[in-house]
Amino acid sequence: MAWDFSTDPEFQDKLDWVGRFCQEKVEPFDYVFPHAVRWPDPVVKAYVRELQQEVKDQGLWAIFLDKDLGGPGFGQLKLALLNEVIGRYSGAPSMFGASAPDTGNMEILAAYGTEGQKKRWLEPLLNQDMFSAFSMTEPQGGSDPNLFRTHAERNGDEWVINGEKWFTSAGRVADLLFVMCTNGMFVVPRATPGVEIMPEPRNHNHIVYRDVRVPLDHLLGPENGAKVLAQRRLGGGRIHHAMRTIAQCKLAFDMMCERALSRESHGSLIAEHQMVQEKIAESYAAIRMLRLFVLETAWKIDQTSTLEARTDIAAVKFTMARVLREVSYNALHILGSLGTTDLTPIQAMYASAPTMGIADGVDEVHKATVARRVLKGYRPHEGYWPTEYIPAKRAEAWRRMRPVLDARPDLARAAEKYAGHR
């Protein structure tokens, strides 16, 4: 029986390198040049390329792709451990060629794209010469594909797309839009006539597709295959997201503990106050439990598939939102008034927790999925009483023990004596 929680030394060396690289180079650069990956300035771009080359030299570029798709093929468990480190630094995913929403779009391009589509779009996305967005959610239907209305009609040698999409993150600055229609997934260059981006929201864009025409070869994967592509995109992505969330929780936890040991209240360090100790203890336990759950789920995906691990993936999704909310709130509370400002990362973490419970499908939907799938493994009990109804269990125990008691009168007398004392 194998039961091991350790990381092999060779891969631990990789994790240690990633930690040093992010702390020593990525974090300071990100504070001086926030969002620099998308900057057109050639001098800044050249330095970004230098940092990214260091990542490539370590074999850590595009870490989310399997070997057969052109990546390092780490598998979900190793990928989860990497994202736990990278997720602490906002600028790190881009430096590793692993920032959303490009990662998921590149994965489905690599898995389902034709050679021509890969040459045209995947290579520029991998090189960060292009950026993309995933246009799925709709105003009237949320993230439920069964309620979508955006549709593509074939007209000669073109597809004509009509519909509306809501919360297309980074759609305004994307070169390519991966548009989920009722009858397929389509790659739409943002500059295509008919693509109208609404003024609000600024970051998670509302986009109207009005008679948008794209060539036939802009269909990604099979016609009517959008749901399959979306599940391929979202399944493993939720695990990556969960580990980056854990990294944020650990950052909040570190700040919480540091503050508890640095401030006094009512004549003693606040770390000595029981209510503060309670928040620290509960936060520690919540982070540890979530981390083990996510790593086990990643391991399960590696051993089977995202489909087989669907129940745990869904459970991870709604659990990580709750843990982020609770831990960031505890940290905010312990930091006091400073925690309510934008002078530390805490306020942004706490503000992002509700979004975490909505993005990639609302938590309620995932909870319902988990409950339905778990209940498939159970059956209703017969008659009035549940399986663990003690009087019935006791009667059954006497029935099953009767041959033994009949063969051993001394044991039978002892049993009667025990029964008399109840």
- Banded pLDDT at 67 (limits 50, 70, 90): confident
Give me the sign of the Cα torsion angle 280, 20, 97, 10. negative
234 has pLDDT over 90: no
Kindly report, residue by residue over 82-133, the tens digit of the pLDDT: 999 999 999 999 999 998 889 889 989 998 999 999 999 999 999 999 999 9
* Secondary structure (DSSP) of 48-83: HHHHHHHHHHTT-TTTTS-GGGTS----HHHHHHHH
Helix (H) or strand (E) holding 233: helix 226-260
Kindly report, residue by residue over 162-198, the tens digit of the pLDDT: 999 999 999 999 999 999 999 999 999 999 999 999 9
19 has pLDDT over 90: yes
Q: Given this model, what pLDDT does residue 385 score? A: 93
Reading the block at residue 92, the tokens are: 């790190």
Kindly report, residue by residue over 311-339, the tens digit of the pLDDT: 999 999 999 999 999 999 999 999 999 99
| Contacts (Cβ under 8 Å, ≥6 apart) of 402 | none
Apex CA 22: angle with CA 17 and CA 27, to 5°?
165
- Banded pLDDT at 1 (limits 50, 70, 90): low
DSSP, res 260:
H
> What is d(CA 242, CA 353) in angstroms, rounded to the nearest whole number?
12
Question: What integer is the mean pLDDT of 58-64?
Answer: 92
Q: Given this model, what pLDDT does residue 219 score? A: 98
Phi first, then psi, for residue 178 (nearest 5°) are -90, 105
Q: Given this model, what pLDDT does residue 240 score? A: 85
Q: Given this model, what pLDDT does residue 232 score? A: 73
Lowest mean pLDDT among 8-17, 37-46, 150-159, 168-177: 37-46
DSSP, res 320:
H
- Which amino acid is located at 266 in the chain? H
- Banded pLDDT at 68 (limits 50, 70, 90): confident
Phi first, then psi, for residue 275 (nearest 5°) are -70, -35
Query: Partners of 204 in the beta sheet?
Result: 169
Burial 93-127 (b: 16+ CB within 10 A, else e): bbbbbbbbbbbbbbbbbbbbbeeebbebbbeebbe
User: Residues in the chain, how many?
Assistant: 422
Across the chain, mean pLDDT equals: 93
Comparing C-alpha atoms, which of 210, 197, 125 is closest to residue 167? 197
> What is d(CA 93, CA 99) in angstroms, rounded to the nearest whole number?
5
Q: Given this model, what pLDDT does residue 422 score? A: 64
Question: Regarding predicted confidence, which is higher, 397 or 2?
Answer: 397
Comparing C-alpha atoms, which of 77, 69, 100, 70 is closest to residue 87? 100
State what percent of residues in the chain have pLDDT above 90. Answer: 82
